[in-house]
Amino acid sequence: MLRFVTSNAGKAREASQYLPEAVERVDYDYPEIQSDSLEAIATAGARDAYREIGEPVFVDDSGLFIDALGGFPGPYSSYVDEKLGIERVQALAAREENDRARFRTVVAYADDDGVETFEGTVRGRIVAPRGSGGFGYDPIFEHRGQTFAEMSPEEKNAVSHRGRALAAFGDWLAER
Ligand SMILES: O=c1nc[nH]c2c1ncn2[C@H]1C[C@H](O)[C@@H](COP(=O)(O)OP(=O)(O)OP(=O)(O)O)O1
Ligand SMILES: [Mg+2]
């Protein structure tokens, strides 16, 4: 059994696919360090959560990086979603000519041997909100003509940043 430490139910729903063991969500909001690096944030979070919970755990730190805005909101995606909301982020992006963006996830797994990280990226475009599935920025992120909020969870996982990071994590778990 794998423990996924996250305050985000949407992440937890997507996490069981690709992993060779059952996933149990631990709803603990570990302190997030401030950094430009998702790797650094996820690594510190996994270490902290492992210390707190006393069992092997993994965490997921993700962000939306908009090319024309220098990668904003990036590692601050959660804060910006909370303070501005996705419609205002989309409005900022709509003022630019270049609508390209990428989502990134870093999964960090911590146990007695230390921390291992796994990365996933997907490229897309920022569009006016469409769709009712998914969570967070999904309605404004379009990949091959569909927003992530217009995809089923399986369709999103098959192409998403999180799906790719989880697949790499799953391969590592299966081989270790
Ligand atoms: O697949 C995704 N599709 C759309 N939006 C997403 C996705 N993945 C993360 N997001 C949003 C959620 C949060 O606003 C920010 C990441 O912040 P991040 O700190 O990683 O997540 P969180 O604070 O919601 O949960 P946690 O307790 O695991 O830290 O980007
Ligand atoms: Mg967070």
Task: Identify the active-site residue in 27, 29, 36, 61.
Answer: 61
CATH of the domain at 76: 3.90.950.10
When divided into structural domains, the chain yields a total of 1
Binding-site annotation: residue ranges for Mg(2+): 32, 61
Q: What is the pLDDT of residue 16?
A: 82
**Residue 104 belongs to domain spanning:** 2-175
Q: What is the pLDDT of residue 5?
A: 98
Q: Is the CB of 136 under 6 A from ligand 1?
A: yes
Check if the beta carbon of residue 68 is closer than 8 Å to that of residue 96: yes
Q: Please list the ranges in the chain whose pLDDT falls under 50.
A: none
User: ipTM, 2 decimals?
Assistant: 0.99
Q: What is the pLDDT of residue 20?
A: 86
Ligand 1 atom with minimal separation from the 45 CA: 29
Q: What is the pLDDT of residue 18?
A: 86
Integer Cα distance of 119 and 121 in angstroms: 7
